[in-house]
Structure 1
Amino acid sequence: MGLRKLIGWYAGLLGLSFLSTAAAAQGIFWKAEKDGQVIYLCGSVHVAKPDFYPMPDWTYEALKSSDVLILEVASLSDSSNKQIFKQMSKLPEGQEIYDLLDDETIKLATDLGNEYGIPLEFFRYQQPWSFVTSLTMAQVIKLGYQPQFGIDIHFSGKAREYGIPIDGFETAMEQYRMLQQIYTMDHAVHVKESLLELKDVAGQMDQLEQSWLDSNADHLAELLNQSFGDSAEVEEVMLLNRNQRWMEQLSERFKHQKQIFIVVGAGHVVGKGSLTELLKQAGFSIEQLK
Structure 2
Amino acid sequence: MKKAILLLLALLSGFVNAQTKENSLLWKISGNGLTKPSYLFGTIHITCDASLSDKVKKAMDNTEQLCLELDMDDPNMQTEMVTKMMMKDGVTMKSLVSAEDFKMVDDFLKTQLGYSAEMLNTFKPFMISAMLYPKMLGCEVQSVESELMKISKAQNEEVIGLETIAEQMNVFDAISYQDQMEELVKTAKSNLKRDTEEMNDMLALYKTENIEAMFEFTKKSENVMTSKYTDVMLNNRNQNWISRMDKIAKAKSTFFGVGAAHLGGEQGVIVLLRKAGFKVEAVK
Q: Which stretch has the larger CA shift, 257-266 or 27-36? A: 27-36
> Which runs of 5 or more residues in structure 2 are unaligned?
1-22
Report deviation, 1:58. Answer: 2.6
User: How big is the shift at 1:265?
Assistant: 0.7
- State how 1:125-274 maps to structure 2 within 5 Å: 125-134=122-131, 136-140=132-136, 143-146=138-141, 149-184=142-177, 186=179, 188-197=181-190, 198-227=192-221, 234-251=229-246, 253-257=247-251, 259-274=253-268
Deviation string, structure 1 residues 145-190 (Cα, Å, up to 9, x no partner): 41xx311111112111112221111122222221232143645434
| Equivalent position of 1:42 in the other structure | 41
Q: TM-score, normalised by structure 2?
A: 0.79
Q: CA deviation at 1:28?
A: 1.5
Sequence identity, in percent? 22
Counterparts in 2 of 1:33 and 1:228: CA distance versus 1, 3 Å: farther
State how far apart, in whole Å, the 2-side matches of 1:93 and 1:199 are.
33
Structure 1 unaligned spans of 5+? 1-25
Q: Which residue pairs with 2:63 in the alignment? A: 66
The one-letter code of the counterpart of 2:58 is E
CA distance in 2, matches of 1:211, 1:128: 26
Q: Which one is further off, 160-169 or 193-202?
A: 193-202
What is the 5 A alignment of 1:52-91? 52-53=50-51, 55-76=52-73, 78-91=74-87
- The residue identity in structure 2 corresponding to 1:236 is D
SS in 1 for 2:243: helix
Cα distance in 1 for partners of 2:173, 2:75 equals: 20
Aligned residues: 257
CA distance in 2, matches of 1:259, 1:82: 28
Matched, 1:282 2:276: yes
Tell me, yes or no, if structure 1 residue 104 matches structure 2 residue 103.
no
Q: Distance in 2 between matches of 1:94 and 1:40?
A: 43
CA 255–106 in structure 1, closer or farther in 2 if over 3 Å, else same:
same
Moved more, 99-108 or 86-95: 86-95
In 2, Cα distance between the equivalents of 1:67 and 1:154?
16
Matched AA of 1:100:
L
AA partner of residue 62 (structure 1): A
SS in 1 for 2:274: helix
The change in CA–CA distance for 1:107 and 1:58 in structure 2 (over 3 A counts) is: same
| Cα distance between partner residues in 2 of 1:258 and 1:48 | 30
- Which is bigger in relative contact order (C-alpha 8 A, separation at least 6)? 1
